[in-house]
Amino acid sequence: MSSWRDTTCGALTAADVGTRVTVAGWADTRRDHGGLVFVDLRDFSGKVQLVVNPEHAPEPAQVAHDVRNEFVLQAEGEVVKRAPEAVNPNLPTGEIEIQVEALKVLSRSTPLPFQIGDDVDDVLRLKYRWLDMRSERMQRNLRLNHVVIAAIRRAMDDMGFVDVWTPSMTKGTPEGARDFLVPIRLQPGTFYALAQSPQLFKQLCMIGGLDRYYQIATCWRDEDLRADRQFEFRQLDLEMSFVDREDVLDVMEEAVVAAFVGAGREPPPRPFPRLGYAEAMGKYGTDKPDFRYGLEIEDATELTRSSGFGVFANAPTVRYLVAPRPFSRAELGRLEEIAKEWGAKGLAYLVNDGGELRSPIAKFLAEDELRALQPDAGSTALFVADDEAVVARVLGGLRIHLARELDLAETGDELFHWIVDFPLFERDEDTGQWTFLHHPFTAPMPGDEGFEQDPGSALSQHYDLIWNGWELGSGSIRIHDAEMQQAVFRVMGMGEEEQEAKFGFLLDALKMGAPPHGGFAMGIDRFVARMAGEPDLRQVVAFPKIASGSDPLTGGPTPMPDSVLKDLGIRLR
Ligand code: ASP
């Protein structure tokens, strides 16, 4: 293998009994049993037990005596069978141990801030990530990340995709986030943005005749960090020419299945089911529903148009969901608080406690309303009456909250879904201006090309991939016509001059023979986190940032000396 070792710790089994081996790794634990010293030696492949017997090997025994956790050791000796009572059935190497004849300390360790694999605070783990990485969990996750990417690369290659490197430093691409800016010393006062995605470059590759592009692309977005967000992340980014939506979805399903197979997992069944955006918002209150549990939202708008309960009768939309529990008054109070935080004015309810109805609103409801809305015994109907968007947001949020509280999401099913038929535009909440839902390069649905007349009702050829409530990625068929692209910019309130300044190069390219094209991008770290069953991206990324935006390991970000800033033409306020 090498001059340092001729096998690895985790590889040794009863079949190796009688052979002489040299292994190297970290001292996981050391136990001094009055004479005999036991060291569990660990490397990437697993652990093996070393036994040092001072009677046979006085010098190694002396060395072993001074060994502490995480010292790096090299040990040579014979593989022997353990005594039957010492066999450890939980360890793959549990039937054997190495009778040490030579032992060397290759490197020492100061006392550790935590023991490897201990469940300590994430910030501490990240500060000492090199220690944390030695844990089984991080070894497993980083290797899974690798296996998934390797499998995806093979699949993309098999399908004829060309890996093209696109610039990180570019003019901003609008993906709905803030840009990270890079000051340019050669041109003080000017900035590149770190690419939020390779979006425009991959479209230019299609106009450039490349036909099928892909990249495991790093993207940068200045957003608040959450469980499923990091400033920088990698995505499987792809683009294809002369395709329809079906072709893109097919390639993505192929890539997902390849990743599962590569990781030795049962792949999800294809084709992945689809759901329209409007139906998703109505039934689940979100465009990334978790389908592992029911709790579907029901509509009561029609039913309550002439309700005796004014709150229902006067609200534009009335919807409810039924939780399989008869909640107590206190529980309902807490749920109402949550609903209010999300923008509801209140939370009405009907509790069916073993056949007995508890509700302050029941007396206002007519018989037909009660008959239709009354939940089954042992459950509670929760109502929100408001504008449609508020109702969706609140009930969608409550649905997730309840599923968590009632442990409804704990199934092992790998459920992938496509969400399709998104609107092309939505109103910006702050400015009231029409803005894109996906990005401004998304094509309208065939039939909706006249979107300028009525932007709010046009649908787009945008699609999202969802896995158990996580949005894995998005894509669309793009606009390949300069006129149409300009119409989208106009709807967004962008005049000719601004269009030219921001996207002149794209408009030029679209005027010089642009093929129909479309593509997709899937967040690899999100995908791997889900696959690993981890709650957040930090567990599958080697060196992530924490919520404050800091990197506990290096201590970044840091201020820069004035001299450096001066070169860049920057003065701090
Ligand atoms: N550029 C988009 C994104 O990064 C994906 C796409 O439309 O292909 O989300």
Q: Which residue has the higher pLDDT, 4 or 294?
A: 4
Per-residue DSSP letter, 364: G
Which residues are paired to 222 by β-bridges?
178
Signed CA dihedral, 98, 99, 102, 106: sign only: positive
Classify 312 as helix, strand or coil. Answer: helix
Q: What is the pTM of this model?
A: 0.92
Per-residue H/E/C for 131-160: HHCCCHHHHHHHHHHHHHHHHHHHHHHHCC
Q: Largest Cα–Cα distance of the chain, in whole Å?
A: 94
CA of 235, closest atom in ligand 1: 4
Of ligand 1's listed atoms, the one at least distance from the Cα of 197 is 4
Strand partners, 216: 236
In the predicted model, is pLDDT for residue 32 greater than 70? Answer: yes
Q: How confident is the model at residue 363 (pLDDT cuts 50, 70, 90)?
A: very high
For ligand 1, the distance from its centroid to the CA atom of residue 199, given in whole angstroms, is: 6
Nearest ligand 1 atom to alpha carbon 438: 7
Cα 306 to ligand 1 centroid, rounded to whole Å: 45
Q: How confident is the model at residue 529 (pLDDT cuts 50, 70, 90)?
A: very high
Dihedral sign, Cα of residue 17, residue 23, residue 27, residue 31: positive
Report the candidate in 478, 498, 488, 507 with the shortest Cα–Cα distance to residue 434.
488
DSSP string, 533-545: T-SSGGGTSSS--
Tally of residues, the chain = 573
Q: Is the CB of 422 under 6 A from ligand 1?
A: no
Could you read off the pLDDT of 231-240 as tens digits, one per residue?
A: 999 999 999 9
Whole-number Å distance, alpha carbon 471 to ligand 1 midpoint, is 12
| C-beta of residue 532 within 8 angstroms of C-beta of residue 144 | yes
Q: At what angle do helices 524-531 and 245-262 cross, to 10 degrees?
A: 50
Cα 355 to chain center, whole Å? 43
* CB atoms near residue 87 (< 10 Å): 14
In ligand 1, which atom is closest to the CA atom of 202?
A: 8
**pLDDT computed for residue 35 by the predictor:** 85
Across 296-306, average pLDDT? 96
Contact of 164 with 205, CB cutoff 8 Å? yes
**Ligand 1 site, residue 199, Cβ cutoff 6 A:** yes
Q: What digits encode the pLDDT tens for the residues 148-164?
A: 999 999 999 999 999 99
Q: Is 80 exceeded by the pLDDT of residue 169?
A: yes
46-77: pLDDT as tens digits? 999 999 999 999 999 999 999 999 999 999 99
198 near 237, Cβ under 8 Å?
A: yes
Cα-to-centroid distance, 442 and ligand 1 (Å): 10
Answer yes or no: is the C-beta of 175 below 6 A from any ligand 1 atom.
Answer: yes
Phi, psi of 484 (to 5 degrees): -65, -40
pLDDT at 517 over 70: yes
How many other CB atoms sit within 10 Å of the CB of residue 165? 9
- Ligand 1: centre distance to CA 475 (Å): 5
Any atom of ligand 1 within 6 Å of the Cβ of 474: yes
Neighbouring-strand partners of residue 423 = 459
Q: How far apart are CA 191 and CA 160, in angstroms?
A: 36
Non-local CB neighbours of 312 within 8 Å, separated by 6+ positions = 300, 304, 318, 348, 383, 385
What are the tokens at 305?
């148009």
- Beta strands across the sheet bearing 298-299: 298-299, 317-323, 379-386, 348-353, 356-358
Q: What share of the chain has pLDDT > 70, as a percent?
A: 99
Residues 6+ away with beta carbon under 8 Å from 82? 49, 88, 94, 95, 96, 97
How many whole angstroms separate alpha carbon 414 and alpha carbon 380? 29
**Phi and psi at residue 402, to the nearest 5°:** -65, -40
Judge whether residue 410 has pLDDT over 80. Answer: no
Report which ligand 1 atom has the smallest distance to the Cα of 478.
Answer: 7
Query: What does the alpha-carbon distance between residue 353 and residue 357 come to, in Å, rounded to a whole number?
Result: 6
Average pLDDT taken over every residue of the chain: 95
Q: Is ligand 1 within 6 A of the CB of residue 520? A: yes
Nearest-atom index, ligand 1, CA of 239:
8
The upper half-sphere exposure of residue 129, i.e. CA atoms within 13 Å in the direction of its Cβ, equals 17
Centre of ligand 1 from the C-alpha of residue 520, in Å:
6
For residues 542 and 522, give the distance between their C-alpha atoms in angstroms, rounded to a whole number: 19
Atom of ligand 1 nearest to the CA of 173: 1
For the cut 90, the answer to whether the pLDDT of residue 170 exceeds it is: yes
| Predicted pLDDT of residue 412 | 60
Mutational test site, ligand 1, from 166, 173, 196, 197, max ligand atoms within 8 Å of CB: 197
DSSP-assigned states of every residue in 235-247: EEEEEEES--HHH
pLDDT at 33: 85
- Sign (positive/negative) of CA torsion 480, 484, 489, 492? negative
Q: Give tens-digit pLDDT for 458-490.
A: 999 999 999 988 999 999 999 999 999 999 999
Q: Which of 252, 474, 476, 525 to mutate to test the pocket of ligand 1 (most atoms within 8 A of CB)?
A: 474
The encoded tokens of residue 383 equal: 């109502």
- Residue 445 sits at φ, ψ, to 5 deg, of -65, 145
339, 340, 345, 349: CA torsion to nearest 10: 30
Radius of gyration of the chain (CA): 30
Angle (nearest 5°) at CA 433 between 428 and 438: 55
Q: Is a pLDDT exceeding 90 seen at residue 259? A: yes
Dist CA 405 CA 392 (whole Å)? 20
Give 171-204 pLDDT, tens digit per residue.
877 778 899 999 999 999 999 999 999 999 999 9
Which residue bears the tokens 């660990």? 42
Q: How confident is the model at residue 411 (pLDDT cuts 50, 70, 90)?
A: low
Residue nearest to atom 3 of ligand 1 (CA): 521
Q: Is 519 in the pocket of ligand 1 (CB under 6 A)?
A: yes
Atom 8 of ligand 1, residue of closest alpha carbon: 520
